[in-house]
Structure 1
Amino acid sequence: MKRIPRTARRGVTVGLAITSVALLTACGTAQGGGGSAASEAPTELGDMEGQVSILAWPGYVEDGSNDPAVDWVTPFTDDTGCKVTVKTFGTSDEALNLMKTGDYDVVSASGDASLRLVAAGDVAPVNTDLIPNYENIYPFLKDQSWNSVDGVPYGVPHGYGANLLMYNTEVFPTAPTSWDVVFDKSGDYAGKVTAYDSPIYIADAAVYLMAHNPELGIENPYALDEEQLAAAVDLLKQQRANIGEYWSDYLKEIQAFTTGDTVVGTSWQVIQNVLASEGATTDVVLPEEGATGWSDTWMIASEAKNPNCAYAWLDYIASPEANAAATSYFGEAPSSDQACEFRDDCEAYHAGDADYASQIWYWSTPIEECLDGRTDVKCTDYAAWTAAWQEIKG
């Protein structure tokens, strides 16, 4: 398979602006609540403006300049007349700050950023009737808490994937079935455990606690009240003593598993694909407790200068061939079965497997209005998670 770009990563999300999170306390989600955008979705499109400015994760908008053989931007420009300019970002917080400049028409947002963009009024709802390829997108990616508000879509789903458990097959001749090897049993592998370096990783601990400490009453790993967050923090502090290295750069994790410095920890399917191609003694599994994951969304700026070309891009990048090219290059499942007709590795990514997808808790921004529907308590927001993560790491 083609490896993802050397710069492609899900960076550490720290330094969050508190004002951005504060806005979220009044912003609704698909599970309920209010919220409004700075602009409404159009009912029809006009003439193409001739250009579109895109803010994207590395590897999502390739025009052949990084690799002449990798180019799905040129066909878009040829078809629409919209010349693409792109700026890449390394973290969700960076994307949030850049969107506030008003310089971009479109952004690819992960679930730990999308609601913050909505709450700040930086992105607008979209009219999916104007996006023909939306129809073919997997139903389990549509109308979700990270891409919609009260059933109103704020973008088009792109690729998705799970944060899996990777293990050294020589250390684990029998595949582990539980996350307990990185939590309660992490002491057995002291110094050789790895974890994703981000406040959103707190949700991984919450997924584990949902299964093993049901008395905590956790129903959604992104909806933690103070007591539940404290339990997750305690678990992660215990784990911290056995962590050899936290990672956000996938290349560092590949190196650590290759050298044996790391033998178990959270990872992605694409990392396993790279390691397998190099003959490494590793494998991945989706543990019995389930896992966190990501589902990215293409969103349109509320004050987009080129809204017609922006809509054209959202439709194009959701088209089977373009979506297949982009998600394959990055290393994730595509958004439709039709895209799998242009890929030969969809089975490895469990693309379209609704049962598999149902075991994934996709990244969502924690907000005070509990995403699990509780109204008798306040949940902890992302600012609290960021402070907790700094405390965990010391």
Structure 2
Amino acid sequence: MRGITTMRRGSIVAAIAIGSVAVLTACGTSSGGGTAAPEATELGDMESSVSILAWPGYVEDGSNDPAVDWVTPFEEDTGCEVVSKSYPTSDDAVNLMKTGDYDVVAASGDATLRLIAAGDVAPINTDLIPNYAGIFDFLKDQAWNSVDGESYGVPHGYGANLLLYNTDDVTPAPTSWDVVFDKASEYTGKVTAYDSPIYIADAAVYLMAHQPDLGITNPYALDETQFQAAVDLLKEQRPHISEYWSDYLKEISAFETGDSVVGTTWQVIENSLEAEGAATDVVLPEEGATGWSDTWMIASEAKSPNCAYAWLDYIASPEANATATAYFGEAPSSEAACDFRDDCEAYHAGDADYASQIWYWTTPIADCVDGRTDVECIDYAQWTQAWSEIKG
């Protein structure tokens, strides 16, 4: 649930060449009640426009920065005029998709299963998306973008929620999340954490390693006992928190001023701090970390399904994906995209071992996503209620 208000404005050349994209004649419509529409099976004529709902910085047409525009080449090649709207949180995206006003949505894993369960998005036919073949295998067919063997979207970018620390104040260099949990009292009033119910999963990742008797095998599949342990850990952390952040610029400012010295972060934040000469560094702790892998999805009742498929193929193309993910500050979804970026190493793009340590955001649901059938897991609505109680 990344509520970014301003993206990194690097000097990114938007010279994007787009090849042929697939168009289709029709998509099925949702039957409602959580039943998804069938996937498209054939190609046809483009419509005149496509409506896209996405995180800020995912659909740039030069209006924010004339040098940043990967939308215009798509429009010129396909004839599909892009109409876009950005949203601040995953909850907003879920609610907006219920209006039926959007053909395409870029959703994080804490929203995707909710969209699928509600029947608001349709399974996709990856054969109609040529660029899907080049996407990293470890991003495909995952719990947050596929159900019962059916793919519901195209992976976009991904990243880990890392541990950021002030190298002067936090010594020795940390290797564990214990500095924000069991040892948080050493930095009282200067610990920061991500402001979202999904942060409960960060506590669960820590408990997986430090309280194995709880039996947690997936931080998004928590039964009542496991969930309460994670909530209790966050309530213990609460007195030591300086602030919960969702605007990444505020976290940058807090570390520059010294108001925060340790906490969860993204690689792009450390890149910005490093560029300003701040005494900070990041680490992927030994317990692993949560993270995100965003997915482009098509509405089950899309008014422009042909243009929607065209967009999914285009945004997965190496040039467009490289430009969009670099602008946002995340790893691209394919090795070929790294031919158009010079910072893939910093984002560990394509590093399967690194990616295997990331627990990508997945919507918590009652049907435990770890495969257990003998218990009921705590769903996202209860995570949201608990988060309000944790923050007080």
After TM superposition, the score normalised by the length of structure 2 is 0.92
Quote the RMSD (CA, aligned, Å): 1.3
Structure 2 counterpart of 1:279, from 260, 272, 277: 277
The code of the aligned residue for 2:39 comes to: A
The corresponding residue for 1:269 is 267
Deviation at 1:42, TM superposition (A): 1.1
Residues 103-130 of structure 1 deviation map (CA, whole Å, 9 limit, x = unaligned): 1100000000000000111000000000
The corresponding residue for 1:356 is 354
The corresponding residue for 1:174 is 172
The corresponding residue for 2:289 is 291
3-state SS of the aligned residue for 2:213? helix
3-state SS of the aligned residue for 2:69? coil
Deviation at 1:335, TM superposition (A): 0.1
Deviation at 1:391, TM superposition (A): 1.0
Distance 2:275 2:283 in 1: 17
Deviation at 1:387, TM superposition (A): 1.1
The corresponding residue for 2:298 is 300
The corresponding residue for 2:192 is 194
Structure 1 counterpart of 2:313, from 315, 329, 334: 315
The corresponding residue for 2:67 is 69
Distance 1:279 1:6 in 2: 23
Structure 1 counterpart of 2:234, from 229, 233, 236: 236
Distance 1:390 1:99 in 2: 24
Q: CA 1:322 to 1:5, structure 2 compared with 1: closer, same or farther past 3 Å?
A: farther
The code of the aligned residue for 2:139 comes to: L
Distance 2:250 2:178 in 1: 23
Deviation at 1:6, TM superposition (A): 4.5
Deviation at 1:7, TM superposition (A): 3.0
Identity rate, percent: 79
The corresponding residue for 2:161 is 163
Query: Is this contact kept in 2: 1:123–1:302, CA < 8 A?
Result: yes
The corresponding residue for 2:12 is none
Deviation at 1:50, TM superposition (A): 1.7
Structure 2 counterpart of 1:227, from 209, 225, 228: 225
Structure 2 counterpart of 1:138, from 136, 139, 142: 136
Unaligned runs of 5+ in 2: 9-32
After TM superposition, the score normalised by the length of structure 1 is 0.91
Distance 2:4 2:379 in 1: 32
The corresponding residue for 2:83 is 85
Distance 2:147 2:4 in 1: 33
The code of the aligned residue for 2:246 comes to: S
Query: Is this contact kept in 2: 1:104–1:304, CA < 8 A?
Result: yes
Distance 2:143 2:386 in 1: 23
The corresponding residue for 2:6 is 7
Query: Is this contact kept in 2: 1:37–1:124, CA < 8 A?
Result: no
Alignment of 1:24-35 (within 5 A): none
Distance 2:226 2:382 in 1: 12
Deviation at 1:38, TM superposition (A): 3.1
Q: CA 1:181 to 1:252, structure 2 compared with 1: closer, same or farther past 3 Å?
A: same
Distance 1:209 1:71 in 2: 43
